[in-house]
Structure 1
């Protein structure tokens, strides 16, 4: 597989994550840890079935427990922190802080062997973040407030967790992508244990709610992590980091198409910023 092909596969995760908000809205009123449990159970089970069918179960036996722990902390930690941050602080502000992770991926990638951080990568990532800010903060009416500092802190930890997981995954290039299925199952077990301790059990209350939960498990909280693993291990991680800012843009477009959000000039401006940032990052990589 070429570097370009792996990058393209990794970008499929961004497309799938753009549906996260739409399906999460549809899953209401299921609490976040229970939602984690259901979705990661679906994604992990399907991953294990695929691994078994393709004869890859033996590969999983050769993966060390530290790798499994690393992957579980990355997946579980990101989602637990993200959902908790959005419960403890306004969604616009907490979401904006959490979406520092693509910029942090670009910055941290410069520390990887064989990677070179260029000014185009930095400018592109900053443009992408600005585009995300236009979308995410567009619905905010409160601004940042000291009362929500704990939620903001969790959102920052969320960004650090996912960017660290993505960049460090590059150092585990020898680990088979099928191991992600085990990460998902372990995340489901951890989420379920915490749910029983901290949350009231509220199942989806309609067919549409269950369909949204299943869709989450199949796509944004299932297949997405497998294709992302291929992208960050074998593709251009700096382009992927910058291009990840397309997720909030595409997410908003999905909400517009579904009739949940309305189109605006801010959406058009964000599209220009995100696209321009990704183009700059790609140009910088091509120059390399």
Structure 2
């Protein structure tokens, strides 16, 4: 794998050559890939704040527009390679199905869940995906699920639960069962997509440009079929651009690279930091108020990350 397949300035390290005198083959650094995943989580933390700038626009229109920006970003990255750039899109059919299914499937289910159930319950259920990543990572080649990772993930889940519930009980109603199932589908789709990316480690991260374009087309089809187009204002257009470049653009490229080459278990636990960071940014922007629940949630998520990172004694 060439250095062009890494994200930005991701560090590569030389793999031992099979025979003496043979040229060494660079491979992505596990630490750099994990840091790319942390960067993705940080960018997802800005999703809620940036989303406030596109209020009033239909959700599928937002989905299509932001993924179109992400696809253009990917195309620009591929163009830097010259004529060989398009070769990154010629990948196994399984990789295409997994990526399009993960990107479009998650967002389609999430938007439906929000329309069929209260957002608090949707948030709690859909944010089971970090815990599922931790559990599913055990099936990866060489995967070893440890109690510290499960404990860390459960602490993170407790923190998110406390945050979205705002100190109250999260009550479920049979009336909203379809929405709950869709939210659970979100968690299953995203965790499965993330973990199975490891099977396509040879596919460069830049190849995600293709699935982003496909997701944009599917989102546009859904928008034209079920929504009325709203012409965005200048502020909304800037918001769409920011979303497409950040939480939808760079974040997905970074996450793809991280799931293929980074520490999946650690990233699963650290993913609970996204909703916490999201709320903190909303507080800084004056669109949410700091509370005891927020402090307690931050404490639990931080504790979960620390617990999962503790090295076992030899």
Report the CA distance shift for 1:143/1:117 in structure 2 as closer, same or farther (over 3 A).
Answer: same
TM normalised by structure 2 equals 0.87
1:58 deviates by 4.2
Relative contact order: is structure 1 or structure 2 higher (C-alpha 8 Å, sep ≥ 6)?
1
How do 1:162-201 and structure 2 match up within 5 A? 162-201=190-229
Which of 1 and 2 has greater Rg?
2
Deviations 1:78-104 (A, max 9, x none): 111112111211111111100000000
2:185 matches 1:157: yes
Question: Over the residues paired in the alignment, what is the CA RMSD in angstroms?
Answer: 1.6
Question: In structure 1, how many angstroms separate the alpha carbons of the residues matched to 2:313 and 2:138?
Answer: 16
Match of 1:91 in 2: 119
2:100 matches 1:100: no
2:302 pairs, out of 275, 278, 283, with 275
2:35 matches 1:8: yes
Deviations 1:126-174 (A, max 9, x none): 0000011111121868732221111111000000000000000011101
Question: In structure 1, how many angstroms separate the alpha carbons of the residues matched to 2:116 and 2:45?
Answer: 23
Give structure 1 stretches of 5+ with no counterpart.
none
How do 1:182-221 and structure 2 match up within 5 A? 182-204=210-232, 206-221=233-248
Report the CA distance shift for 1:61/1:20 in structure 2 as closer, same or farther (over 3 A).
Answer: closer
Question: In structure 1, how many angstroms separate the alpha carbons of the residues matched to 2:117 and 2:257?
Answer: 33
Q: Which moved more, 1:131-140 or 1:221-230?
A: 131-140
Report the CA distance shift for 1:139/1:47 in structure 2 as closer, same or farther (over 3 A).
Answer: farther
TM normalised by structure 1 equals 0.95
Question: In structure 1, how many angstroms separate the alpha carbons of the residues matched to 2:183 and 2:148?
Answer: 27
How do 1:1-288 and structure 2 match up within 5 A? 1=12, 2-55=29-82, 56-138=84-166, 143-204=171-232, 206-284=233-311
Contact 1:12 / 1:224 at 8 angstroms: preserved in 2?
Answer: yes
Contact 2:120 / 2:170 at 8 angstroms: preserved in 1?
Answer: no
Q: Which moved more, 1:48-57 or 1:77-86?
A: 48-57
Question: In structure 1, how many angstroms separate the alpha carbons of the residues matched to 2:168 and 2:87?
Answer: 47
Q: Which runs of 4+ in 1 moved over 6 A?
A: 139-142
Deviations 1:104-143 (A, max 9, x none): 0000001111111000000000000001111112186873
Q: Which moved more, 1:8-17 or 1:144-153?
A: 144-153
Contact 1:93 / 1:140 at 8 angstroms: preserved in 2?
Answer: no
Report the CA distance shift for 1:138/1:182 in structure 2 as closer, same or farther (over 3 A).
Answer: same
